[in-house]
Amino acid sequence: MRNIWFTSDLHFGNFNIIRYCNHPFGNTHEMDDVVVERMNACAKQNDVLYFLGDFSIGREEQVAAYRKRMACKTIHFIGGNHDKTTRKQQQLFASWGILSEVNVTKQRIVLCHCPARDNEVPEN
């Protein structure tokens, strides 16, 4: 059975996120290793992951290396405000967009990196 996962804001390679969010890591390598390990413990190879932005601010080859370390093979990507370089690596993901609508167990979910108020999301 395939599980469906949602995540965002991993900020691979971003030392500032350690400082701004008071993460308990001494450097980005330590943070990235823990994040990948925990992500892979949940989102397995045959699962589906929806990633809602801010993957990495690193160079293109770093983005590819982070993506390769993730066990889940089907990652749908919703671009975030810190995905300038990741955007250049769209081929690494199953799909790419800035907004998406999915149905999970008959529940309609609108996916976007930036939050929207209830009255901004149209109803069917």
What is residue 112's predicted lDDT score, i.e. its pLDDT? 93
Whole-number percent of the chain with pLDDT over 70: 93
Domains of the chain: 4-120 (3.60.21.10)
What average pLDDT does the chain have? 91
More confident residue, 20 or 116: 20
Q: What is the mean pLDDT of residues 30-43?
A: 97
**Cα 93 to Cα 75: distance, rounded to the nearest angstrom:** 5
Q: What is the mean pLDDT of residues 32-36?
A: 97
Q: Residue type at 96? A: W
Which residues, at least 6 apart from 52, have a Cβ–Cβ distance to it below 8 Å?
A: 6, 7, 8, 9, 78, 80, 111, 112, 113
**Cα 6 to Cα 26: distance, rounded to the nearest angstrom:** 27
pTM strictly above 0.75: yes
What is residue 124's predicted lDDT score, i.e. its pLDDT? 47
**Cα 70 to Cα 39: distance, rounded to the nearest angstrom:** 7
Report residue 115's pLDDT band, with 50, 70 and 90 as the boundaries.
Answer: confident
**Cα 59 to Cα 56: distance, rounded to the nearest angstrom:** 8
What is residue 58's predicted lDDT score, i.e. its pLDDT? 83
